[in-house]
Amino acid sequence: MGALKKAEAIYRKIALHGHVSFVVRAAGRQHSPQILDVGCGSAALLALLKQRGFQVMGVDFSAEASRVAEVENGVRVMVGSLEDAAFPDESFDIVTLFHVMEHVPEPRTVLAEVARILKRDGAVVLQVPNIDSWQFKAFRSKWYGLDIPRHVIDYSKKAILTVLNDSGFEARRIKHFNLRDNAPALVSSLFPSLDPVSRAVRKQKHGTRESMAGSWLRHIVYLLLVICAYPIAILEAATGHGATLMIEAEKKL
């Protein structure tokens, strides 16, 4: 399975290109900006940003993800919640929360902590699934972006902008499309049995095994379907109803 893992790693780097570009633009011309990624997992994104000259740090609840981040990506990740980390005031130029806000029951509390640890001219970059998307309207409760029961709050553009505004932030940019999430969400909604994450969960929960040939076949079919879904995902994003919302917001002075 080594070759498959390497192929997945290459795909992740390609798929994260949009995230990297969005964050780099948010940093502007800052030299060696300090960035914190909340819910960073194994820190694949932070590793790419580190190569761009960012000073990187992550926070995640998973001790295993923290270990992988340090061993494989050379990134320090603190285990626990953002509040547990207790960073000093004005510690970071950028704080990112990719697919975090839909998991927290008190989003304004999280954003208040983000505002505290951001520098005066700092920015928050976040991403959430968009329930005003074509995909949600088509699939409703079966839409992959809902991820019930792990997601506790579903956001439209108006809702997430209201939360940001109430928390002392003003949106600078909104993007409705990215390579990693939009088209895969469509395919995973149509063919949930092919979704790589769901397959991994089933494997762990039920102890099921796949042959190498079967695993490769499912990955290849899934990838081909994702490629075919990109035109639809791009079209829905162009209308302002993309499956995800990626937002850069600055602190109000």
Q: What is the 3-state secondary structure (H, E, C) of the chain?
A: CHHHHHHHHHHHHHHCHHHHHHHHHHHCCCCCCEEEEECCCCCHHHHHHHHCCCEEEEEECCHHHHHHHHHHHCCCEEECCHHHHCCCCCCEEEEEEECCHHHCCCHHHHHHHHHHHEEEEEEEEEEEEECCCHHHHHHHHHCHHHCCCCCCCCECHHHHHHHHHHCCEEEEEEECCCCCCHHHHHHHHHCHHHCHHHHHHHHHHHCCCCCHHHHHHHHHHHHHHHHHHHHHHHHHHHCCCCCEEEEEEEECC
pLDDT at 202 over 70: no
Q: Quick check: 63 pLDDT over 60?
A: yes
pLDDT, the chain, mean: 93
Residue 16 near residue 184 (C-beta atoms within 8 A): no
Mean per-residue pLDDT for 17-26? 96
pLDDT value at residue 238: 97
Total-model pTM: 0.93
The answer to whether 29 and 61 are in contact (CB under 8 A) is: no
pLDDT at 209 over 90: no
pLDDT for residue 213: 85
Among the residue ranges 45-49, 91-95, 210-214, the one predicted with the least confidence is 210-214
User: What is the per-residue pLDDT for 211?
Assistant: 82
Percent of the chain whose pLDDT exceeds 70: 94
Q: How far apart are CA 109 and CA 101, in angstroms?
A: 11
Q: How many CB atoms lie within 10 A of CB 112?
A: 14
Residue 238: exposed, middle, or buried by beta-carbon count in 10 A (0-12, 13-18, 19+)?
A: exposed
The CATH architecture that domain 2-251 belongs to is 3-Layer(aba) Sandwich (3.40)
Reading the block at residue 51, the tokens are 């190569």
| Annotated domain spans of the chain | 2-251
At residue 32, the pLDDT reads 94
The confidence score (pLDDT) of residue 109 equals 97
Under a CB-based contact definition with an 8 Å cutoff, are residues 92 and 116 in contact? no
pLDDT of residue 133: 98
